[in-house]
Structure 1
Amino acid sequence: MSSKILNKFLNESIADLKERGMYNEIDPVQGANGPQINIDGKQLINLSSNNYLGLATDERLKQVAKEAVDTHGVGAGAVRTINGTLDLHVELEKRIASFKGTEAAISYQSGFNCNMAAISAVMNKEDAILSDALNHASIIDGCRLSKAKIIPFNHSDMEDLRQKAKEAVESGQYKKIMVITDGVFSMDGDIAKLPEIVEIAEEFDLITYVDDAHGSGVLGKGAGTVKHFGLQDKVDLQMGTLSKAIGVIGGYVAGKQNLIDWLKVSSRPFLFSTAVSPADAKASTKAIELLMESTELHDRLWENGRYLKEGLKKLGFDIGNSETPITPCIIGDEKKAQQFSKRLFEEGVYAKSIVFPTVPRGTARVRNMPTAAHTKEMLDKALQIYEKIGKEMDVI
């Protein structure tokens, strides 16, 4: 018999989200997630994918993934610490370390797993974590899991960070103090002030942690936010995903050899969850090799990002202060943002609305993610549709 209390809670909570325009409908994609997608038999220009470089459908990655299935099977067969570490995982981690400019790297099943794993393996209840107020949910959850004291600082506010670091150090309460930030903030597209963060970290002897999920493949000619600022030797933990610009699935942490050795014996997702599949490991390795060989895809991504950003701004949309190809169109009202996204869908553009709690109340937006795989014709058509709906709904 199902619980009446549970059913009441679920029904009331879902109804409340729908009433406030905060209930998210999931749209299954039929086929591959490329620059154009099919949903319910309708072809749409896709501006909601994290597949920044178009590698999720790249023929070179597909070929090596198929070969890996033939040689290594469809699954790793065990956790990494028993006999689930295949030669393909070792090869991938060596390539990641070279790509990120570190001594070593460790791979995980997802980017979310990385933050749950690494933060809690390094920090504990005797420590404190200075966390940017707009950090990703996985960072927040990783910090909570560590049981360290979480001290948020105002988004990219270096004066606030310095003051709170000073107070934390002078309190004498904590054995270790970490400062953690996204490299690129996924909702607004702005870049962390890493040089200033590193300067403050050196002043107060803070551990530095950068979540570069949206920076890897995008900044630093592809190598990420840390490389963008030339700080490979100054950042203790570089975390990234293999599921956005890399186009596959998984995540990693890169850093000193002793850090990686520690994570291999202490981070719970590594110890207790089966490794990524052979095909995923091989495809990720190939993607990283392509990025190390050429900046062609990176350059095309930025060209398309600038083109779409300039077009939307010229039309009169509020695109915030994005410094990367991530381009929000800030609507404000949650219900209006969802209606705007719905109208885009009806006209042939797939761009999801982002509402609270993903972004603060009153800052609902439609987020656009141009990729290297989009053509100018696709972007021009999307801009025409944006203009039509923007005028129709009095947004521009």
Structure 2
Amino acid sequence: MSKILDAFLQENLKELRDQGLYNEIDPIEGPNGPVIKIKGKDLINLSSNNYLGLATDEDLKKLAIDATNKYGVGAGAVRTINGTLDIHVALEKKLAEFKGTEAAISYQSGFNCNMAAISAVMNKKDAILSDELNHASIIDGCRLSGAKVIRVNHQDMDDLRAKAKEATESGLYEKVMYITDGVFSMDGNIANLPGVVEIAKEFDLITYVDDAHGSGVTGKGKGTVKHFGLEKEIDLQMGTLSKAIGVVGGYVAGTQALIDWLKVRSRPFLFSTALPAGDIAATMGALDKISASTELHDKLWENGNYLKEGLSKLGFDIGVSETPITPCIIGEEKLTQQFSKRLAEEGVYAKSIVFPTVAKGKGRVRNMPTAAHTKQMLDDALAIYEKVGKELGVIS
């Protein structure tokens, strides 16, 4: 091994560990459900994005098995050669119906969507206005595009209007886009899309909403854009198929012309093998379940509100969440990691989130209640939170 590389790795890994910023990965021994097993111990799972419990749904597992038996374990090629199966076409039609758009395109992951779509539409002649708390995949997609990235204060419509005016009237850019998460995953708050649309119309901004944590959760399951009734106003709706949908992959929904363009210019679509049929079949089944009934959606919100109320009554700082995402903001990084470790020792798996995922000094344990949790599980978790919180001086 190169001595220079080894020195670099050892020095920087030590620095991360000393600062409480090194993330330990805990393999799960079995399915990622409301209770998980790690190192032989059962833990109440409050760290999964499996919002509706669909990742372990028996009906979806059967759909995946049947499709795998029919099509095989892989698509065999990229979409533009001969990797487009008829089931891909069916999925994209269903996604467009689900999101209320003319068309949709599927990708291998939500991260890929942002790398693909942003760089296919925007270039070095353009500017992107980006909320300062946007997800890392948005940041990377913006960088890849080569466009001028202008950071906008979080959810600050006055700042957005001022920067939109400056960018569009400067004469420096051919196109200007505003991009935002629909639901901000670290805080659980919802984007002010009506305010965004008003400003976008005033300055002819392209609008892009990353609804990874909104699809299946907000808008009675149809997402944040649907929540506000703005399906005809948002240019690009992006989402993941790996969170509330419970499987894997991502999509972008919009006009037929937009999707046609992404099929010929978005690089992950052109150069990465297509999603396997088993995952597609399970995804379609999940979309059918979400569209047919709000039962899982309603249970998710009931559990989320119950956990929020319980943590707040105990004295924890849960921030400004408007969704089931429930952060317990601890602050200092080492204390945050210690808090998470003690929760696990007592029977709750709630992962610590520290810099660089959130700002320094804003460390938190993020709780993700799901539709699959029972009230007894949540009560047990709250009791453990109270014990550990008092023990470490986080609550009195």
Which bracket does the TM-score occupy, shorter chain normalised?
A: over 0.9
Matched, 1:63 2:62: yes
What is the aligned length?
395
Q: What is the distance in 1 between the residues matched to 2:36 and 2:314?
A: 25
Letter in 1 for 2:172: Q
Q: CA deviation at 1:290?
A: 0.7
Counterpart Cα distance in 2 of 1:342 and 1:260: 45
Partner of 2:262: 263
SS at match of 1:181: strand
Deviations 1:352-391 (A, max 9, x none): 0000000001000000000000000000000000000000
Cα distance in 2 between the residues matched to 1:80 and 1:267: 11
Looking at structure 2, the residues matched to 37 and 322 of structure 1 have their Cα atoms a distance apart, in angstroms, of: 25
Q: Give SS of 1:162's match.
A: helix
For 1:173 and 1:115, the matched residues in 2 are separated by 24
2:350 maps to what in 1?
351
Equivalence for 2:381: 382
The residue correspondences of 1:125-144 to structure 2 (distance < 5 A) are 125-144=124-143
- Return the alpha-carbon distance in structure 2 between the equivalents of residues 138 and 320 of structure 1: 23
Deviation at 1:170, TM superposition (A): 1.2
Partner of 1:17: 16
Per the alignment, residue 392 of structure 1 pairs with 391
Structure-1 residue corresponding to 2:226? 227
C-alpha distance in structure 2 between counterparts of 1:222 and 1:63, whole Å = 23
Show the counterpart of 1:211.
210
Partners of 2:68 and 2:167 lie apart in 1 by 51
CA-to-aligned-CA distance 1:222-245 (integer Å, 9 cap, x gap)? 000000000000000000000000
Q: What residue in structure 2 maps to residue 368 of structure 1?
A: 367
Residue 91 in structure 1 maps to residue 77 in structure 2: no
Deviations 1:321-363 (CA, angstroms, capped at 9, x unpaired): 0000000000000000000000000000000000000000100
Partner of 1:282: 281
- For residues 196-252 of structure 1, the C-alpha deviation after alignment (integer angstroms, 9 at most, x for no partner) is 001000000000000000000000000000000000000000000000000000000
1:78 alignment partner in structure 2: 77
SS in 2 for 1:43: strand
Read off the aligned partner of 2:300 and give its amino acid letter. Answer: L
Distance of 2:93 and 2:290 partners within structure 1: 15
Q: Structure 1: which 5+ residue stretches go unaligned?
A: none
| Alignment match, 1:249 | 248
Distance 2:86 2:281 in 1: 10
Q: TM-score, normalised by structure 2?
A: 1.00
Match of 1:179 in 2: 178
User: Is residue 112 of structure 1 aligned with residue 111 of structure 2?
Assistant: yes
Whole-Å separation in 1 of the counterparts to 2:199 and 2:29: 48
SS in structure 1 opposite 2:390?
A: helix
State the alpha-carbon separation in 1 of the partners of residues 286 and 86 from structure 2.
17
CA-based RMSD of the aligned residues comes to 0.3
Q: Distance in 1 between matches of 2:69 and 2:165?
A: 56
Q: Look up the equivalent residue of 2:56 and give its one-letter code.
A: T
Q: Counterparts of 1:89 and 1:294 in 2: how far apart (Å)?
A: 24
User: Residue 191 of structure 1 aligns with which residue?
Assistant: 190
Query: Map of 1:129-168 to 2, 5 A cutoff?
Result: 129-168=128-167
- What SS does structure 2 have at the residue aligned with 1:44? strand
Task: Normalising by structure 1, report the TM-score.
Answer: 1.00
Determine helix, strand or coil for the equivalent of 2:308: helix
Partners of 1:141 and 1:239 in 2: CA distance? 15
Query: Matched residues in 1 for 2:324 and 2:65: separation?
Result: 31
Once residues 93 and 305 of structure 1 are traced to their aligned partners in structure 2, the CA distance between those partners, rounded to angstroms, is: 30
Distance 1:19 1:101 in 2: 49
Q: Specify the code of the residue in structure 2 equivalent to 1:299.
A: D
In the other structure, the counterpart of 1:321 is: 320
Report the 3-state secondary structure (helix = DSSP H, G, I; strand = E; otherwise coil) of the residue aligned with 1:130: strand
Gaps of 5+ in 2: none
In 1, Cα distance between equivalents of 2:93 and 2:360:
43
Amino acid across the alignment from 1:276:
L
- Structure 1 residue runs of 4 or more that deviate by more than 6 Å after TM superposition: none
Partner of 2:42: 43
Deviations 1:98-125 (A, max 9, x none): 0000000000000000000000000000
Q: Secondary structure at the match of 2:330?
A: strand
Determine the C-alpha separation between the residues in 2 that align with 1:250 and 1:24: 25
**Partner Cα separation in structure 1 for residue 360 and residue 311 of structure 2:** 23
User: What SS does the corresponding residue of 2:311 show, helix, strand or coil?
Assistant: helix
Q: Deviations over 1:156-206 (max 9, x none)?
A: 000000000000011110000000000000000000000000100000000
Distance in 2 (CA, whole Å) between partners of 1:35 and 1:99 is 27
Give the aligned residue type for 2:140. Answer: D
